[in-house]
Amino acid sequence: MADPLTLESELLAAVAAAQDEAALEAVRVAALGKKGSVSELLKTLGTMTPDERKTKGASINKLKDAVFEAINARRDVLKNAAISGKLAADKLDVTLPVRLASAERGRIHPISQVIDEITAIFAAMGFAVAEGPDIETDFYNFTALNFPFGHPAREMHDTFFFNPKENGERLLLRTHTSPVQIRTMQKQKPPVKVIIPGRTYRKDSDQTHTPMFHQVEGLVIDKASHLGHLKWILEEFCKAFFEVPQVKMRFRPSFFPFTEPSMEVDIQCDRKGGEIRFGEGTDWLEILGCGMVHPNVMKNCGLDPNEYQGFAWGMGIDRIAMLKYGMPDLRAFFEADVRWIEHYGFRPLDFPTLAGGLST
């Protein structure tokens, strides 16, 4: 059996040597834990004669109390030392600039912002948002939109085609958002009143063209909608979007296979001094194509053109974004340069609303 006095000096030395609370705890378990050296000694009390117990019992209990107190005292010392150490190490330089939260630092891309603005304006006029796939079939991108086979309009779009499948079918990257007109009319019975923002693709690249760009399509189908409604909608849109009290628009006859009649729309502007202003001046700027939905397109979607009619339009988003926010080169939009997005991007929490102001 261990001698209580020797054990005491050993244990007190171990307690004094413990450099942190974990080490001290290990000493405590080794001494006072269930199988600890002091506990083992205490267990021997039961096997002793009353006389032995009187002499040895007292020294064993003294050992236990001494170790117990030493551990508690050492624990206080270590705890205080830990707190002082932490206080000394935790230095706070209050002169450092405040680091912005991520919601403050991130920026919304101008295209996303402009799509949100467009959506807010048309939502206020009762339009829903529809979407379709970027990878399309020839049927949705051309045929159902009344592009005849071999018609030069198919070539005008400088389409990106995928390699043909085994059955000869060639998928393509949609060249416009118009195929979603077809998908929408196939899914939804009139009345239909949707806008369709999305990515579109054509083989083209210069200061105002990128191979991937964005359009927003509009489609209204019911029994009585006519060009007067279309003109009003487009005018209200332009006023709200460009945040001007008046815009003058000019409708020129044009051709699109999927509308009859077809028109291109210009808005009046002033280009003096390298800056474009809307609602004044003597210049015109083309912003969209539109028309009454062609009866063949209706038929291709299973709608009876004698019962239903409607109009559609398609507008380049990138272009109106460049105009509104004075961004001169479209290619920079998609170069993922953080300096550009820091300069032209929008704050994430400034979501555009008609009530709160679109761009302020």
The CA distance from 97 to 100, in Å, is 9
Q: Which of residues 213-242 bind ligand DAH (CB under 6 A)?
A: 217
Q: Smallest gap, in angstroms, from Cβ of residue 340 to ligand DAH?
A: 26
Helix axes 37-44, 21-32, angle to 10 degrees: 20
Rule CB under 6 A: choose which of 290, 298, 301, 358 binds ligand DAH: 290
Q: Please count the other Cβ atoms lying within 10 Å of the Cβ belonging to residue 250.
A: 13
Member of 256, 278, 308, 333 binding ligand DAH (CB under 6 A) = 256
Q: Are strands 128-129 and 192-201 parallel, antiparallel or unpaired?
A: parallel
Beta-strand pair 283-293/309-316: antiparallel
Q: Quick check: 312 binds ligand DAH (CB under 6 A)?
A: yes
**Residue (309 or 352) nearer to ligand DAH, CB:** 309
Please, where are the H alpha helices in 176-316? 179-187, 227-242, 295-300
Interface with ligand DAH, residue 179, by CB under 6 A: no
Task: State CA 73 to chain mean position distance.
Answer: 56
Q: Which tokens go with 98?
A: 């405040």
Stretch that binds ligand DAH, among 29-37, 46-54, 63-71, 310-318 (CB under 6 A): 310-318
- Asked if residue 313 binds ligand DAH (CB under 6 A), the reply is yes
Residue nearest to ligand DAH (CB): 314
Binding mask 259-278 for ligand DAH (x = CB under 6 A): x-------------------
Provide the minimum distance between the beta carbon of 164 and ligand DAH in the complex, in angstroms, as a whole number. 24
Is 318 an interacting residue with respect to ligand DAH (CB under 6 A)?
Answer: no
Residue from 178, 210, 268, 309 in contact with ligand DAH (CB under 6 A) = 178
Q: How far apart are CA 324 and CA 276, in angstroms?
A: 9
Minimum CB distance to ligand DAH, residue 248 (Å):
21
Would you call 333 exposed, middle or buried from its count of C-beta atoms within 10 A (0-12, 13-18, 19+)?
A: buried
| Of residues 132 and 352, the one with the C-beta less far from ligand DAH | 132
What's the closest the beta carbon of residue 175 comes to ligand DAH, in angstroms?
7
Amino acid in the structure at residue 196 = I
In the bound state with ligand DAH, the residue whose beta carbon lies nearer, of 31 and 182, is 182
Contact predicate 125/235, CB 8 Å: no
**Range 15-34, binding ligand DAH (CB under 6 A):** none
How many other CB atoms are there within 10 angstroms of residue 273's CB atom? 7
Give yes or no for residue 291 binding ligand DAH (CB under 6 A): yes
Is residue 310 involved in binding ligand DAH (CB under 6 A)? Answer: no
A 10 A CB-CB count for 345 gives 16
Q: Are 174 and 200 in contact (CB under 8 A)?
A: yes
The stretch among 11-19, 134-142, 232-240, 308-316 that binds ligand DAH (CB under 6 A) is 308-316
All residues at 6 or more sequence positions from 352 whose CB lies less than 8 Å from its CB, including other chains:
113, 116, 117, 120, 358, 359
Residues that bind ligand DAH (CB under 6 A): 176, 178, 217, 256, 259, 289-291, 312-314
